[in-house]
Structure 1
Protein backbone atom coordinates (compact mmCIF):
# COMPACT_ATOMS: atom_id res chain seq x y z
CA UNK A 1 0.00 0.00 0.00
CA UNK A 2 1.32 3.45 -0.88
CA UNK A 3 0.82 6.33 1.52
CA UNK A 4 0.52 9.69 -0.28
CA UNK A 5 1.01 13.04 1.38
CA UNK A 6 0.51 15.64 -1.35
CA UNK A 7 2.70 18.76 -1.75
CA UNK A 8 3.77 21.55 -4.05
CA UNK A 9 7.21 21.68 -2.45
CA UNK A 10 8.88 18.30 -2.90
CA UNK A 11 8.28 14.59 -3.28
CA UNK A 12 10.15 12.06 -1.18
CA UNK A 13 9.82 8.32 -1.57
CA UNK A 14 10.32 6.32 1.63
CA UNK A 15 10.26 2.71 0.49
CA UNK A 16 6.54 2.04 -0.01
CA UNK A 17 5.54 5.40 1.49
CA UNK A 18 5.45 8.30 -0.93
CA UNK A 19 5.59 11.59 0.92
CA UNK A 20 4.70 14.74 -0.99
CA UNK A 21 4.20 17.87 1.04
CA UNK A 22 0.86 19.57 0.54
CA UNK A 23 0.00 23.28 0.07
CA UNK A 24 -0.68 24.57 3.57
CA UNK A 25 -2.10 28.05 3.03
CA UNK A 26 -5.64 26.95 3.89
CA UNK A 27 -4.69 24.52 6.65
CA UNK A 28 -3.67 25.21 10.21
CA UNK A 29 -0.27 23.76 10.99
CA UNK A 30 -0.42 22.01 14.35
CA UNK A 31 2.39 20.66 16.49
CA UNK A 32 1.21 17.28 17.74
CA UNK A 33 2.92 15.05 20.28
CA UNK A 34 2.64 11.27 20.28
CA UNK A 35 2.72 9.18 23.47
CA UNK A 36 2.63 5.49 22.63
CA UNK A 37 2.72 2.52 24.94
CA UNK A 38 0.83 -0.29 26.57
CA UNK A 39 -0.40 1.95 29.43
CA UNK A 40 -0.81 -1.08 31.65
CA UNK A 41 -1.69 0.98 33.64
CA UNK A 42 -1.10 4.68 32.81
CA UNK A 43 0.63 6.50 35.67
CA UNK A 44 1.80 9.95 36.71
CA UNK A 45 5.20 9.66 35.01
CA UNK A 46 3.42 9.25 31.66
CA UNK A 47 1.41 12.40 32.31
CA UNK A 48 4.38 14.44 33.54
CA UNK A 49 6.44 13.52 30.48
CA UNK A 50 3.63 14.43 28.10
CA UNK A 51 2.84 17.71 29.82
CA UNK A 52 6.46 18.85 30.08
CA UNK A 53 7.06 18.19 26.39
CA UNK A 54 3.76 19.82 25.44
CA UNK A 55 4.64 22.93 27.44
CA UNK A 56 8.33 23.25 26.58
CA UNK A 57 7.93 22.64 22.84
CA UNK A 58 4.64 24.53 22.55
CA UNK A 59 2.67 21.57 21.23
CA UNK A 60 -1.00 22.07 20.44
CA UNK A 61 -1.90 18.61 21.75
CA UNK A 62 -0.51 15.24 22.71
CA UNK A 63 -2.09 12.04 21.38
CA UNK A 64 -2.08 9.07 23.75
CA UNK A 65 -2.04 6.00 21.51
CA UNK A 66 -2.35 2.68 23.39
CA UNK A 67 -0.82 -0.19 21.43
CA UNK A 68 -2.92 -3.16 20.43
CA UNK A 69 -0.11 -5.72 20.36
CA UNK A 70 3.38 -4.59 21.43
CA UNK A 71 6.01 -5.50 18.83
CA UNK A 72 8.59 -6.25 21.53
CA UNK A 73 10.00 -9.73 21.92
CA UNK A 74 9.24 -9.59 25.64
CA UNK A 75 5.48 -9.10 25.36
CA UNK A 76 3.89 -7.74 28.53
CA UNK A 77 0.63 -9.72 28.29
CA UNK A 78 -1.55 -6.66 28.98
CA UNK A 79 -5.02 -6.84 30.46
CA UNK A 80 -8.16 -6.50 28.34
CA UNK A 81 -8.10 -3.68 25.83
CA UNK A 82 -11.27 -2.16 27.22
CA UNK A 83 -9.65 -1.75 30.63
CA UNK A 84 -6.54 -0.08 29.29
CA UNK A 85 -8.54 2.28 27.09
CA UNK A 86 -10.81 3.30 29.95
CA UNK A 87 -7.86 3.96 32.27
CA UNK A 88 -6.20 6.21 29.68
CA UNK A 89 -9.49 8.11 29.29
CA UNK A 90 -9.67 8.62 33.05
CA UNK A 91 -6.00 9.61 33.30
CA UNK A 92 -6.14 12.37 30.68
CA UNK A 93 -9.72 13.64 30.98
CA UNK A 94 -8.83 16.78 32.96
CA UNK A 95 -6.19 17.98 30.49
CA UNK A 96 -7.64 19.58 27.32
CA UNK A 97 -4.22 19.27 25.67
CA UNK A 98 -4.32 15.46 25.85
CA UNK A 99 -6.31 13.33 23.39
CA UNK A 100 -6.97 9.59 23.13
CA UNK A 101 -6.28 7.99 19.73
CA UNK A 102 -7.38 4.38 19.16
CA UNK A 103 -6.00 3.80 15.67
CA UNK A 104 -3.73 0.94 16.74
CA UNK A 105 -6.70 -0.93 18.23
CA UNK A 106 -8.70 -0.30 15.08
CA UNK A 107 -5.83 -1.50 12.87
CA UNK A 108 -5.19 -4.65 14.94
CA UNK A 109 -2.01 -6.69 14.44
CA UNK A 110 1.37 -5.66 15.82
CA UNK A 111 1.51 -1.97 16.69
CA UNK A 112 4.45 -0.65 14.72
CA UNK A 113 5.11 3.06 15.23
CA UNK A 114 6.04 3.45 11.57
CA UNK A 115 2.55 2.34 10.49
CA UNK A 116 0.90 4.67 13.02
CA UNK A 117 2.93 7.73 12.08
CA UNK A 118 2.46 7.01 8.37
CA UNK A 119 -1.32 7.06 8.88
CA UNK A 120 -1.17 10.31 10.82
CA UNK A 121 1.00 12.01 8.19
CA UNK A 122 -1.25 10.78 5.41
CA UNK A 123 -4.38 12.08 7.13
CA UNK A 124 -2.91 15.39 8.29
CA UNK A 125 0.15 16.32 6.20
CA UNK A 126 -0.08 19.89 7.46
CA UNK A 127 0.85 18.82 11.02
CA UNK A 128 4.26 18.43 12.63
CA UNK A 129 4.59 15.29 14.76
CA UNK A 130 6.79 14.78 17.82
CA UNK A 131 7.26 11.25 19.18
CA UNK A 132 7.84 11.36 22.95
CA UNK A 133 10.06 8.70 24.54
CA UNK A 134 12.05 8.33 27.74
CA UNK A 135 15.81 8.69 27.46
CA UNK A 136 16.19 4.97 28.19
CA UNK A 137 14.29 4.21 24.98
CA UNK A 138 16.59 6.34 22.84
CA UNK A 139 19.23 3.59 23.01
CA UNK A 140 16.73 1.17 21.46
CA UNK A 141 15.84 3.32 18.45
CA UNK A 142 18.18 1.36 16.12
CA UNK A 143 16.01 -1.72 16.79
CA UNK A 144 12.71 -0.02 15.92
CA UNK A 145 10.86 -1.25 12.85
CA UNK A 146 11.83 0.86 9.81
CA UNK A 147 13.50 3.44 12.02
CA UNK A 148 15.44 5.05 9.16
CA UNK A 149 12.14 5.77 7.41
CA UNK A 150 10.33 6.71 10.61
CA UNK A 151 12.75 9.51 11.52
CA UNK A 152 11.97 11.16 8.20
CA UNK A 153 8.29 11.39 9.15
CA UNK A 154 8.45 12.39 12.81
CA UNK A 155 10.70 14.27 15.25
CA UNK A 156 11.74 12.21 18.26
CA UNK A 157 11.75 13.89 21.68
CA UNK A 158 13.80 12.32 24.46
CA UNK A 159 12.82 13.10 28.06
CA UNK A 160 15.90 13.13 30.26
CA UNK A 161 16.14 10.66 33.13
CA UNK A 162 19.10 10.80 35.47
CA UNK A 163 22.60 11.12 33.99
CA UNK A 164 22.18 8.99 30.89
CA UNK A 165 24.22 9.98 27.85
CA UNK A 166 22.37 12.24 25.44
CA UNK A 167 23.57 10.65 22.23
CA UNK A 168 21.85 9.05 19.28
CA UNK A 169 22.73 8.74 15.64
CA UNK A 170 19.14 9.79 15.00
CA UNK A 171 17.89 13.38 15.48
CA UNK A 172 16.44 13.75 18.99
CA UNK A 173 15.24 16.89 20.79
CA UNK A 174 15.99 16.65 24.52
CA UNK A 175 13.57 17.93 27.17
CA UNK A 176 13.99 18.13 30.94
CA UNK A 177 11.26 16.80 33.22
CA UNK A 178 10.97 15.99 36.94
CA UNK A 179 12.31 12.52 37.58
CA UNK A 180 9.59 10.20 38.81
CA UNK A 181 10.72 6.64 39.49
CA UNK A 182 7.34 5.17 38.58
CA UNK A 183 6.62 2.34 36.16
CA UNK A 184 3.61 0.25 35.20
CA UNK A 185 5.46 -2.79 36.53
CA UNK A 186 5.78 -1.10 39.93
CA UNK A 187 2.04 -0.32 39.97
CA UNK A 188 1.06 -3.88 39.09
CA UNK A 189 3.40 -5.29 41.72
CA UNK A 190 2.05 -3.02 44.44
CA UNK A 191 -1.55 -3.85 43.61
CA UNK A 192 -0.76 -7.54 43.65
CA UNK A 193 0.83 -7.12 47.09
CA UNK A 194 -2.14 -5.06 48.29
CA UNK A 195 0.06 -1.98 48.75
CA UNK A 196 -1.00 1.63 48.19
CA UNK A 197 -0.68 3.20 44.74
CA UNK A 198 -1.98 6.57 45.92
CA UNK A 199 -0.06 9.44 44.27
CA UNK A 200 1.46 7.02 41.75
CA UNK A 201 -1.53 7.03 39.42
CA UNK A 202 -4.42 9.50 39.04
CA UNK A 203 -7.03 8.88 41.72
CA UNK A 204 -9.67 7.87 39.17
CA UNK A 205 -7.31 5.28 37.71
CA UNK A 206 -6.64 3.91 41.20
CA UNK A 207 -10.39 3.68 41.83
CA UNK A 208 -10.91 1.93 38.49
CA UNK A 209 -8.18 -0.64 39.24
CA UNK A 210 -9.73 -1.36 42.62
CA UNK A 211 -13.29 -1.54 41.31
CA UNK A 212 -12.40 -3.97 38.53
CA UNK A 213 -9.92 -6.01 40.61
CA UNK A 214 -7.16 -5.48 38.07
CA UNK A 215 -3.68 -6.91 38.65
CA UNK A 216 -4.84 -9.04 41.55
CA UNK A 217 -3.73 -12.67 41.69
Structure 2
Protein backbone atom coordinates (compact mmCIF):
# COMPACT_ATOMS: atom_id res chain seq x y z
CA UNK A 1 0.00 0.00 0.00
CA UNK A 2 1.42 3.35 -1.05
CA UNK A 3 1.59 6.06 1.59
CA UNK A 4 0.82 9.43 0.01
CA UNK A 5 1.09 12.83 1.65
CA UNK A 6 -1.37 15.37 0.29
CA UNK A 7 -0.34 18.99 0.63
CA UNK A 8 -3.09 21.37 -0.37
CA UNK A 9 -2.63 25.10 -0.58
CA UNK A 10 -2.96 28.25 -2.59
CA UNK A 11 0.82 28.31 -3.20
CA UNK A 12 0.64 32.02 -4.06
CA UNK A 13 3.63 31.75 -4.39
CA UNK A 14 5.21 28.50 -3.19
CA UNK A 15 8.32 28.99 -1.05
CA UNK A 16 11.02 27.16 0.88
CA UNK A 17 8.72 26.83 3.91
CA UNK A 18 6.28 24.76 1.82
CA UNK A 19 9.09 22.59 0.51
CA UNK A 20 10.61 22.06 3.94
CA UNK A 21 7.22 21.17 5.39
CA UNK A 22 6.62 18.59 2.65
CA UNK A 23 10.13 17.17 3.05
CA UNK A 24 9.74 16.80 6.82
CA UNK A 25 6.41 14.98 6.39
CA UNK A 26 7.94 12.81 3.65
CA UNK A 27 10.86 11.78 5.86
CA UNK A 28 9.20 11.55 9.29
CA UNK A 29 6.16 9.58 8.08
CA UNK A 30 8.13 7.44 5.60
CA UNK A 31 5.81 8.51 2.78
CA UNK A 32 6.23 7.14 -0.72
CA UNK A 33 5.23 10.44 -2.33
CA UNK A 34 3.93 13.91 -1.54
CA UNK A 35 1.33 15.37 -3.88
CA UNK A 36 1.04 19.17 -3.91
CA UNK A 37 -2.56 20.17 -4.66
CA UNK A 38 -2.93 23.83 -5.64
CA UNK A 39 -6.48 24.98 -4.92
CA UNK A 40 -8.52 26.94 -7.39
CA UNK A 41 -10.02 28.97 -4.57
CA UNK A 42 -9.73 27.86 -0.95
CA UNK A 43 -12.96 28.35 1.02
CA UNK A 44 -11.16 30.06 3.93
CA UNK A 45 -9.29 32.73 1.93
CA UNK A 46 -10.02 35.61 -0.37
CA UNK A 47 -9.40 35.09 -4.05
CA UNK A 48 -5.80 34.27 -4.97
CA UNK A 49 -3.56 37.11 -6.14
CA UNK A 50 -2.52 35.20 -9.29
CA UNK A 51 -4.26 32.86 -11.72
CA UNK A 52 -4.56 29.15 -11.03
CA UNK A 53 -2.45 28.53 -14.15
CA UNK A 54 0.39 30.68 -12.78
CA UNK A 55 0.22 28.99 -9.36
CA UNK A 56 0.31 25.50 -10.92
CA UNK A 57 3.32 26.51 -13.01
CA UNK A 58 5.11 27.87 -9.93
CA UNK A 59 4.26 24.76 -7.89
CA UNK A 60 5.58 22.47 -10.64
CA UNK A 61 8.77 24.53 -10.71
CA UNK A 62 9.05 24.26 -6.92
CA UNK A 63 8.90 20.45 -6.84
CA UNK A 64 10.90 19.84 -10.02
CA UNK A 65 13.79 17.50 -9.41
CA UNK A 66 12.43 15.82 -6.27
CA UNK A 67 11.61 12.23 -7.26
CA UNK A 68 8.81 11.87 -4.71
CA UNK A 69 7.14 15.29 -5.07
CA UNK A 70 4.38 15.72 -7.65
CA UNK A 71 1.68 18.27 -8.51
CA UNK A 72 -1.94 17.10 -8.64
CA UNK A 73 -4.15 19.63 -10.47
CA UNK A 74 -7.60 18.18 -9.78
CA UNK A 75 -8.82 21.14 -7.67
CA UNK A 76 -7.72 23.67 -10.27
CA UNK A 77 -9.41 21.66 -13.02
CA UNK A 78 -12.61 21.42 -10.96
CA UNK A 79 -12.63 25.22 -10.44
CA UNK A 80 -14.68 26.97 -7.77
CA UNK A 81 -14.12 26.60 -4.03
CA UNK A 82 -11.97 23.63 -3.13
CA UNK A 83 -13.31 21.53 -0.29
CA UNK A 84 -10.91 18.90 1.04
CA UNK A 85 -13.74 16.38 1.51
CA UNK A 86 -14.49 16.36 -2.24
CA UNK A 87 -10.82 16.00 -3.08
CA UNK A 88 -10.29 13.11 -0.66
CA UNK A 89 -13.36 11.23 -1.87
CA UNK A 90 -12.23 11.57 -5.49
CA UNK A 91 -8.69 10.42 -4.70
CA UNK A 92 -9.92 7.45 -2.67
CA UNK A 93 -12.11 6.38 -5.61
CA UNK A 94 -9.20 6.71 -8.05
CA UNK A 95 -6.61 5.10 -5.75
CA UNK A 96 -8.47 2.71 -3.42
CA UNK A 97 -5.31 0.96 -2.21
CA UNK A 98 -3.44 4.14 -1.23
CA UNK A 99 -3.23 5.46 2.31
CA UNK A 100 -3.50 9.27 2.35
CA UNK A 101 -2.14 11.76 4.89
CA UNK A 102 -3.27 15.39 4.64
CA UNK A 103 -0.44 17.76 5.56
CA UNK A 104 -1.40 21.08 7.16
CA UNK A 105 0.44 23.86 8.96
CA UNK A 106 -0.18 24.77 12.57
CA UNK A 107 -2.42 27.65 11.51
CA UNK A 108 -4.77 25.21 9.76
CA UNK A 109 -4.75 22.79 12.71
CA UNK A 110 -6.37 25.52 14.81
CA UNK A 111 -8.89 26.13 12.01
CA UNK A 112 -9.96 22.45 11.68
CA UNK A 113 -13.22 22.86 13.67
CA UNK A 114 -14.39 25.27 10.95
CA UNK A 115 -13.58 22.97 8.01
CA UNK A 116 -16.41 21.88 5.74
CA UNK A 117 -17.88 18.60 7.10
CA UNK A 118 -14.85 17.96 9.28
CA UNK A 119 -16.39 14.98 11.09
CA UNK A 120 -16.75 13.06 7.81
CA UNK A 121 -13.29 14.10 6.74
CA UNK A 122 -11.74 12.81 9.96
CA UNK A 123 -13.17 9.36 9.21
CA UNK A 124 -11.54 9.29 5.77
CA UNK A 125 -8.02 10.56 6.29
CA UNK A 126 -5.18 11.09 8.74
CA UNK A 127 -4.28 14.73 9.29
CA UNK A 128 -0.64 15.63 9.79
CA UNK A 129 0.02 18.90 11.60
CA UNK A 130 3.29 20.74 11.23
CA UNK A 131 4.27 23.22 13.91
CA UNK A 132 4.93 26.66 12.44
CA UNK A 133 6.34 29.73 14.19
CA UNK A 134 3.64 31.66 16.00
CA UNK A 135 0.93 29.03 15.72
CA UNK A 136 -0.52 26.45 18.05
CA UNK A 137 -1.49 22.91 17.14
CA UNK A 138 -4.27 22.62 19.73
CA UNK A 139 -7.37 20.95 18.33
CA UNK A 140 -10.09 18.60 19.52
CA UNK A 141 -9.37 16.37 16.51
CA UNK A 142 -6.73 13.66 16.21
CA UNK A 143 -3.78 15.10 14.31
CA UNK A 144 -0.47 13.33 13.86
CA UNK A 145 2.23 15.89 14.63
CA UNK A 146 5.58 16.23 12.96
CA UNK A 147 8.47 18.48 13.86
CA UNK A 148 9.89 21.10 11.58
CA UNK A 149 12.72 23.58 11.98
CA UNK A 150 11.42 27.08 12.61
CA UNK A 151 11.29 28.99 9.35
CA UNK A 152 9.19 32.13 9.26
CA UNK A 153 8.48 32.44 5.54
CA UNK A 154 4.99 32.99 4.17
CA UNK A 155 3.48 33.69 0.78
CA UNK A 156 2.01 36.88 2.25
CA UNK A 157 5.50 38.04 3.26
CA UNK A 158 6.84 37.33 -0.22
CA UNK A 159 4.00 39.24 -1.90
CA UNK A 160 4.49 42.18 0.49
CA UNK A 161 8.23 42.28 -0.16
CA UNK A 162 7.64 42.24 -3.91
CA UNK A 163 5.08 45.05 -3.68
CA UNK A 164 7.68 47.08 -1.74
CA UNK A 165 10.41 46.37 -4.29
CA UNK A 166 12.44 44.19 -1.89
CA UNK A 167 14.36 41.05 -2.76
CA UNK A 168 12.84 37.60 -2.23
CA UNK A 169 16.09 35.77 -2.90
CA UNK A 170 16.50 32.80 -0.52
CA UNK A 171 12.79 32.86 0.37
CA UNK A 172 11.75 30.83 -2.67
CA UNK A 173 13.50 29.00 -5.48
CA UNK A 174 15.27 30.77 -8.35
CA UNK A 175 12.86 29.04 -10.76
CA UNK A 176 9.85 30.57 -9.01
CA UNK A 177 11.51 33.98 -8.95
CA UNK A 178 12.06 33.63 -12.71
CA UNK A 179 8.35 32.87 -13.25
CA UNK A 180 7.33 35.81 -11.05
CA UNK A 181 9.59 38.10 -13.08
CA UNK A 182 8.56 36.61 -16.45
CA UNK A 183 4.84 37.27 -15.85
CA UNK A 184 5.33 40.35 -13.65
CA UNK A 185 3.36 38.72 -10.83
CA UNK A 186 2.60 40.53 -7.55
CA UNK A 187 3.69 43.95 -8.78
SS of 2:22 mapped into structure 1: helix
Matched with 1:115 is 86
Give me the TM-score of the superposition, normalised by structure 2.
0.96
Give me the TM-score of the superposition, normalised by structure 1.
0.83
Is the Cα contact below 8 Å between 2:36 and 2:71 reproduced in 1? yes
Q: Superposed, which structure 2 residues align to 1:32-181 within 5 Å?
A: 32-72=4-44, 74-162=45-133, 165-181=136-152
| Residues 25-67 of structure 1 deviation map (CA, whole Å, 9 limit, x = unaligned) | xxxx100001101110000000000000000100000010000
Structure 1 spans left out of the alignment, 5+ residues: 1-28
Q: Evaluate the alpha carbon distance shift between residue 81 and residue 166 of structure 1 in structure 2; reply closer, same or farther with a 3 A threshold.
A: closer
Matched with 2:177 is 206
> Once the 2 structures are TM-superposed, how far is the Cα of residue 181 of structure 1 from its aligned partner?
0.5
> Once the 2 structures are TM-superposed, how far is the Cα of residue 161 of structure 1 from its aligned partner?
2.4
Structure 2 spans left out of the alignment, 5+ residues: none
The structure in which a higher percent of residues are helix is: 2
Which aligned runs of 4 or more in structure 1 are off by greater than 6 angstroms? none
Is the Cα contact below 8 Å between 2:101 and 2:127 reproduced in 1? yes
Aligned length: 187
Structural RMSD (CA): 1.3
Deviates more, 1:32-41 or 1:104-113: 104-113
SS of 1:152 mapped into structure 2: helix
Quote the Cα distance in structure 2 between the aligned partners of 1:69 and 1:167: 26
Is the Cα contact below 8 Å between 1:138 and 1:168 reproduced in 2? yes
Quote the Cα distance in structure 1 between the aligned partners of 2:61 and 2:135: 32
> Once the 2 structures are TM-superposed, how far is the Cα of residue 163 of structure 1 from its aligned partner?
7.2
